[in-house]
Chain A
Amino acid sequence: MESLLSGQLLFAALVLGGLYALIALGLNLVYGTMRLLNIAHGDLLMIGGYGAFWCFTLTGMSPLLGLPVIAAITAGLGIALYYLLFRGQLSSGKPIPQIEANSLLLFFGVSVVTQNVIALAFSATPRAYRYLDDVYHFGQVAMTGNRIAALAIALTCLVAIILVLNRTMFGMSIKALIQNRDAARIVGINVERVQLTSIALGFGVAGIAGGLVSMAEQISPFMGFPFTIASFVVIIMGGLGNVFGGIIAGFLLAFIEIYAVALTSANMRSILLYGIFVAVLILRPQGLLGKARQS
């Protein structure tokens, strides 16, 4: 019980929460603005992980300095997919459920192709590298350098995106599009530009998250799926399309994961996580901070 008050668990929960929130943020932006269900989201993390790996092993450059390049690559992929696959869907006037269903199938294809292209290009052999792996002590709390960096960068990205969403005209137009697509168009928002920026931002953030994950975990072409699942759990729990709700849910899940395991047993992790997820869905189907949809 004493360990529950330790800073060590708090640090672990914050690092995990920061990553969950960042990963889910990208997914939420894409879903919120376009109603696209990106089940290839975890594969973007994988691409980010490979980007950081090659950046470090080929050039010796810090993967942290490579993050903008990685974000640009995954954002570019998002823009390409937008024009190739989704622009027509979104402007076709199809009802939202159909856009959601179509996007699910299209992104499934994107996921399979991405995984196999990376496997063919780099083989499925797991890869890893050592970066910022020194341990620093702050009082009783031990922190590995790459986990401190992951927390700091995740929080910086989260705060920056929240500020952009709340303090800039462009951010508000994203929020407006999330809230009501037709109304946003009526008030003069350039919907296409906002959609394009949102997919670039969402994909770019996923690439950054992948770069951060790769500093502490092995990477492989098929590593993405658990992250896709985790990010869907987070955004559904926080309220689909609710960016702030997703961030709260990301941290909440991480705190449950760390503290509930500490209180019970590691064997209970999945039961507790998914049990609470199901409970939230039963009690608040719209998510913790989501608003109930009117039929």
Chain B
Amino acid sequence: MLKKIAQGLALAAALSLPTAAQAAETLKIGYSIAKTGLFSQAAPSQVNAYDLWAEQVNAAGGLDVAGVKHPIELVWYDDESDPVKSAQIYERLISDDKVDLLLAPWGTPHHLNIAGVMEQHGFPLVGNTAGSVAIREVEPGNIWFPTAVLPDRIGPALVDMLAANGVKSVSIIANVLPFSQENLQFLVPALEAANIEIKMNESYPPDIKDMTPLLTQMKSANADAVIALTYPSDAFLYTGQAKELGITTPYQFLLIGPTIAAYKDAFGPVADGIITLGHWSPKQTDWPRAQPFFDAYVAKYNSAPDYLDSALAYMSCEILQQAVAKAGLDHDKLREVISNDTFDTINGPVKFKGVENIITPSAFLQLQKGDMELVWPKSIATADLIKR
């Protein structure tokens, strides 16, 4: 009888005593995202990475905050693709929702617009999907950018890769939207410095519906390489119509588009050999976290992650996670750790100097037999660049 009472009391005690995880307060991690509007097509690849990360953290018992694990909850608002709204949302997340940590919005203008809010509140935030030299104008200390997609690094790196493969002439077409034009601005001088002839250099509007005249001219130019500074919708248009016109240029580079899963769905083997922007691949075995991320993403969403945006978004979560594990939630300590430590991410080590990641090089991917291979620079390449 006494034994039964003791067992009952033990059971009652076990049920009434919270576990360590239950006792720990749930942490709120906030962000704004372009759920609707112009950039909403791009946002899911970033949100998916956030959701996957949060799920993995909670499945592992919570976020390690200086030795104590806390469950996490993501809090987000739709910024309607408006950078001004994004800044208002971060203000609200910090002041009203009193979130414990922040994740980044999508896109360069949004990052630049929220930088002031971060500085005003002294709230540290690891950015991700911003790609402009303008990020260097942001006051360092509260925001960091792990991306290697910076136009003044991309242009020279692309020229190095083409020159190393014997390219003597190029045809360039460029969307008039800012990221393409910023890349063009740094690409042309780099080509000229390398004595690579520019046989054609044409810009086109973002709502272009047919590229036949442009690509007919490109075919006549007969350059050794094509550099198409595209956004996603025109990357699709280019690839379909270049195939129709029989453009068989051995090296064809598209700026944004081919890393989206739908691109491969749309073109299959036709896209083989297309080169694009990206510094991450699950095939890089020196980064042991890369393939598990890819596998977990595919298992959860039944499609491949975006090699650029999903990877960057997940990297930013990893950096935050490692910094919080060491520094806790204190903003000053977090700032110091993020600014000085080296982080182990799916994209290899990341270390910041000022706002910029100084380890990850600007790099290029190539679709080879349906897989995205890193082909440049050699230091992180998973395969050699091949001709189409």
Residues of A within 8 A of B (CB): 3, 6, 8-9, 11-12, 15-16, 115-116, 119, 123-130, 133, 135, 142-144, 147, 216-218, 220-222, 226, 230, 254, 257-259, 261-262, 265-267, 269-270
Contacts and interface: CB of A to CB of B under 8 A. Distances in A.
A8 B265 contact: no
B36 A12 contact: no
Interface string B190-214: 0000000000001111011111111
Nearest to A11: B212
Chain B interface, >50% SS class: helix
A216 B267 CA distance: 10
Given A126-B41, A130-B265, A12 B207 contact: no
Contacts of B44: 123-125
Contacts of A124: 35, 40-41, 43-44
Contacts of B204: 266-267, 269
B244 A126 contact: no
A257 B214 CA distance: 11
Given A128-B266, A266-B204, A266-B214, A142 B236 contact: no
A9 B41 contact: no
A144 B244 contact: yes
Given A16-B210, A129-B265, A3 B216 contact: yes
B214 to A, nearest CB: 5
Contact of B203 (A8, A9, A267): A267
B20 interface: no
Interface in B219-265: 220, 232-233, 236-237, 240, 243-246, 260-263, 265
Most buried by B among A123, A127, A218, A220: A218
B45 interface: yes
B94 interface: no
B270 interface: yes
B8 interface: no
Contacts of A123: 44
B37 interface: yes
Given A144-B240, A267-B203, A258 B40 contact: no
B163 interface: no
B214 A12 contact: no
B213 to A, nearest CB: 4
A9 B214 CA distance: 10
Contacts of B216: 3, 6, 8-9, 262
A119 B214 contact: no
Contacts of B265: 127-130
A230 to B, nearest CB: 8
B36 A270 contact: no
Given A220-B41, A226-B207, A126 B232 contact: yes
Contacts of A119: 35-36, 40
B232 A266 contact: no
Contacts of A218: 232-233, 236, 260, 262-263, 266
Contacts of A257: 209-210
Interface of B: 35-38, 40-41, 43-45, 173, 176, 202-205, 207-214, 216-217, 220, 232-233, 236-237, 240, 243-246, 260-263, 265-268, 270, 303
22 contacts: A9-B213, A123-B44, A124-B41, A125-B303, A128-B236, A135-B243, A144-B243, A144-B244, A147-B244, A217-B233, A217-B236, A218-B262, A220-B40, A221-B40, A222-B37, A222-B40, A254-B210, A258-B212, A261-B214, A267-B202, A269-B204, A269-B208
Nearest to A216: B240
A123 B173 CA distance: 31
A258 B211 CA distance: 8
A237 to B, nearest CB: 16
7 residue pairs, one from A and one from B, having the closest CB atoms = A128-B266, A266-B204, A12-B212, A262-B213, A128-B262, A261-B213, A125-B44
Contacts of B207: 226, 270
A108 B246 CA distance: 42
Contacts of A126: 41, 232, 260, 262
A258 B213 contact: yes
A176 B42 CA distance: 47
Contacts of B246: 135, 142
B65 to A, nearest CB: 31
Contacts of A221: 40
Contacts of B173: 266
A86 to B, nearest CB: 25
A6 B212 CA distance: 11
Contacts of A12: 210, 212-213
Contacts of A265: 202
B262 A127 contact: yes
B297 to A, nearest CB: 13
A259 B236 CA distance: 22
A38 B45 CA distance: 32
A133 B236 CA distance: 13
A254 B385 CA distance: 39
A6 B262 CA distance: 32
B239 to A, nearest CB: 10
Contact of B45 (A15, A16, A125, A130): A125
A130 B267 contact: yes
Contact of A266 (B208, B261, B262): B208
B45 A8 contact: no
Contacts of B261: 125
A262 B265 CA distance: 31
Contacts of B37: 222
A124 B213 CA distance: 31
A258 B215 CA distance: 11
A133 B265 CA distance: 12
Given A125-B41, A267-B204, A115 B36 contact: yes
A135 to B, nearest CB: 5
A231 to B, nearest CB: 12
